[in-house]
Structure 1
């Protein structure tokens, strides 16, 4: 049976489009709000000297007796803030409360900062790098703070990593390098264009055996440098999507209007998670 999509007129100006959030991004009557724990991490051995906050969000519908799925979000508070564009905790509460996805605990991790430096942010160093430091940081330093409190599935098909902009290529890199840990990826407006040394994925994806990944990408017609020959965020996302398609991956690309804003990704998040957690054929 085909899905019928309501008609919507195309905007003439693609630069200043704003998408309206749907009901799954708003607190709903009859859905209990989950519990959120705020923690700090100041003892990193992988990123020495950095401080950061992170949040564990446990939807009320999660059964503590059963291992939960895990969804890790970069740019933690931006993605958790119930008044922001993404509203990850609200979305998880609603989707789990309505039985749309399995019980899933959200882990929202801020990028590190150096409190004593004039330029304190370590975000690009952590997120844009093409190496295993960040995924190892999650596995050895942050995720254990979750697993010591809650039961989490070890199945990579039940572990999602999500991010936007630099957090998007960070999420993809973490899953690409460790598909045995993260089998599901969501990337919004991913900053493949600014990875040091260039975007490796269009050439790399077809060259290696297909990995057991399911990938949701969102790109924007008017993302950064969208009509320039270099540093083109739109073009680099399209190249990654084309490589995934040609290599036979289970992936989905949604292309929207607007600039480098988290708005469209936030509006898409409920459906992106539904698609990510959908059962495999035959299940």
Structure 2
């Protein structure tokens, strides 16, 4: 049989096909013919983005005069998509790390439309976000609910008040499957608790880690910011909030749930501003919290005040997991000239201080941005580092 006569099937290469489309459009003078080329391409490759090994194309072919891209890859800036010839198709071509995962969205004539051609949607408190995953990005999705895994229980407390820091907030408590009041469980306290449940999918993460034997059965305490002040006031190195958390909230939980009093089995968690206050409380109250999971923490706040405090303070018995995205160099409306907005710089600086002081610390930065997609995917590793049975034994025995 003559194998050379058989049709050859080239491997599917959407990005390569787009580059051929660019060449074909450039060689074509007629707008209608250019649109016909785009029609054929879109029919064959309807999804955005188009991914290569270290490059990607985000594209849009819907209505609108001005189409802007905004996302992690642009560091809080907006950039217009480039038009392909005289066609309706607009695009942005970028180069990224092999393991990168980035959130982005499109603004069409000022309206946030996410990315209507992207089937991957990232968790966000600001509306729909498209997710760009490069080929080397690989994280076990332990936050996905599973029907074959026993589920813990969430109990809500709607109006938890403070006398030390006049305010109210909602708190949710997770108890593991088979919870027994006669046992004593490790505990994990979360700032921005409602967001960790909604966007971090932490209930399913607890269920799956516990079922797999990767985490001991533990109790999760999810604390919302106060209604009266909000998260920025609560978390901005606020001594009143810290007193509420340590001197009112922890005893309030201890009275109601079977929680271990050992600091090595009590974790405090936060992201961004929440990571800042988590680290600050733990440094001041190592009698309560022996472990911190700080995600993309705003440690550069107030001219690196927290970093300087760790540098100046005696080392306390505290185990710390730090992580941040390498795209977190210009975050929010904060001062860029002073470096306050550079979360990557701040977290790297804190890591160096903690290492020099002799803290047991794990640190990682990933090619990602300031997002729930990053925090959700990496929280499981942080909790295992802090609370796995072997980790607790090593921490408490000094090995």
Please indicate the TM-score interval, normalised by the length of the shorter structure.
0.7 to 0.9
Please report the TM-score for the alignment, with normalisation by the length of structure 2. Answer: 0.61
- Aligned pair 1:59/2:166, yes or no? no
Deviation at 1:198, TM superposition (A): 2.7
Whole-Å Cα distance in 2 between the matches of residues 258 and 99 of structure 1? 28
1:189 to 296, 299, 304: 296
CA contact (8 A) 1:54 1:76 kept: yes
CA contact (8 A) 2:214 2:384 kept: yes
Moved over 4 A (4+): 14-21, 226-229
Whole-Å Cα distance in 2 between the matches of residues 253 and 228 of structure 1? 26
CA contact (8 A) 1:188 1:262 kept: no
Whole-Å Cα distance in 1 between the matches of residues 213 and 282 of structure 2? 26
CA contact (8 A) 1:134 1:174 kept: no
Look up the match of 1:39.
157
Please say which structure displays the higher CA radius of gyration: 2
Which string of whole-angstrom CA distances, capped at 9 and with x for unpartnered residues, describes residues 33-68 of structure 1?
A: 1111111235322332x3311100101143332111
Which string of whole-angstrom CA distances, capped at 9 and with x for unpartnered residues, describes residues 222-267 of structure 1?
A: 1142785421221111111110111111001110122221211210
Q: Which moved more, 1:147-156 or 1:171-180?
A: 147-156
> More relative contact order in 1 or in 2 (CA 8 Å, sep 6+)?
1
SS in 2 for 1:51: strand
CA contact (8 A) 2:325 2:366 kept: yes
Structure 1 residues 68-147: aligned runs within 5 Å: 68-81=185-198, 84=199, 86-114=200-228, 121-129=229-237, 131=239, 133-147=240-254
Look up the match of 1:177.
284
- Unaligned runs of 5+ residues in structure 1 are 1-8, 115-120
Deviation at 1:130, TM superposition (A): 5.6
Structure 1 residues 192-231: aligned runs within 5 Å: 192-194=299-301, 197-225=302-330, 229-231=338-340
SS in 2 for 1:65: coil
Whole-Å Cα distance in 2 between the matches of residues 73 and 124 of structure 1? 15
Normalized per residue, which structure has more strand?
Answer: 2
C-alpha RMSD over aligned residues: 2.3
Deviation at 1:150, TM superposition (A): 1.6
CA contact (8 A) 1:39 1:54 kept: yes
Whole-Å Cα distance in 1 between the matches of residues 237 and 303 of structure 2? 10
Whole-Å Cα distance in 2 between the matches of residues 42 and 33 of structure 1? 25
Deviation at 1:136, TM superposition (A): 2.1
Which string of whole-angstrom CA distances, capped at 9 and with x for unpartnered residues, describes residues 60-106 of structure 1?
A: 1433321111100000111012xx2x222211112222222222100
